[in-house]
Structure 1
């Protein structure tokens, strides 16, 4: 889900609790903090020699500390934090939104948004773990091939014998 779609959706539910669930229904504990919002630009070259670039917005969540009130952040407070960040740094609305969370039992990772549900005056964001993909194989599966004429010439790489993803 892109950043603007997420923001537009939660703006429709002012004052509601914003709950993040991960790992098959575990909720980030009430009292969590948004510790950082990052505007990230990735540049890579895949195993087929194709250059790639994309942007993500990463929202880092931290569980509550002992002194924190055990209540969920409201959608309004989240939007207020986001607006303060975007006043200081450019964040692209079309960038994919990722949520970074981890605790003592779960390693930190950048989750994708699986879906968003409305439950009892709460906006519940269902997070799903990231996976890996082979961009070269994905292009081939889409009948574009590793170095089709429609794409820029790949950067020469000797990654695997015979070409990409062999």
Structure 2
């Protein structure tokens, strides 16, 4: 299957602006030779970027409504430096993640966060959008990971799935 087919198959992603590691790896399947270019803050990562760390964490917390929360999150750290080389091929990125999977349990449906820094500015947290092909490159747009209020987010999700007729009492919450 070509990357175009893989990308097309992923249009049903739960949130195309906030994909999982499984969705990213599936999209990159078949694009091993194409350069993988991440972009953030209106710029592309420099051609010499490194994947300096991949880690998985399991979190237990209380949200602002005192509700217990638990989730798994995968963090991929990108060091945005310029070295005398081209952007990393997508296949090399997949091999790096594959090597991590040999040693660390990476849940494919876990939240995916990119930590990006040029080594001088503080690390910034980003979420990743579905990859796309543009100009012979696989491009992944990173956007700042926003804070959220989980009780509010659940309430909005319940309202979206509510099928009460217009003017009726809300069926949710």
Q: TM-score range by the shorter chain?
A: 0.7 to 0.9
SS at match of 1:13: coil
Structure whose CA Rg is larger:
1
Q: Does residue 47 in structure 1 map to residue 58 in structure 2?
A: no
Provide the residue aligned with 1:151 in structure 2. Answer: none
CA contact (8 A) 2:81 2:118 kept: no
Higher helix share: 2
Instruction: Report deviation, 1:105.
Output: 6.8
SS at match of 1:15: coil
Provide the residue aligned with 1:26 in structure 2. Answer: 43
TM-score (norm 1): 0.77
Counting only pairs closer than 5 Å after superposition, residues 84-123 of structure 1 correspond to structure 2 as 84-103=99-118, 106-123=121-138
CA distance in 2, matches of 1:140, 1:118: 36
SS at match of 1:92: coil
CA distance in 1, matches of 2:118, 2:97: 23
CA contact (8 A) 1:58 1:110 kept: no
Gaps of 5+ in 2: 1-18, 160-173
TM-score (norm 2): 0.74
Q: Does residue 16 in structure 1 map to residue 22 in structure 2?
A: no
SS at match of 2:88: coil
Total equivalences in the alignment = 141
Provide the residue aligned with 1:124 in structure 2. Answer: 139
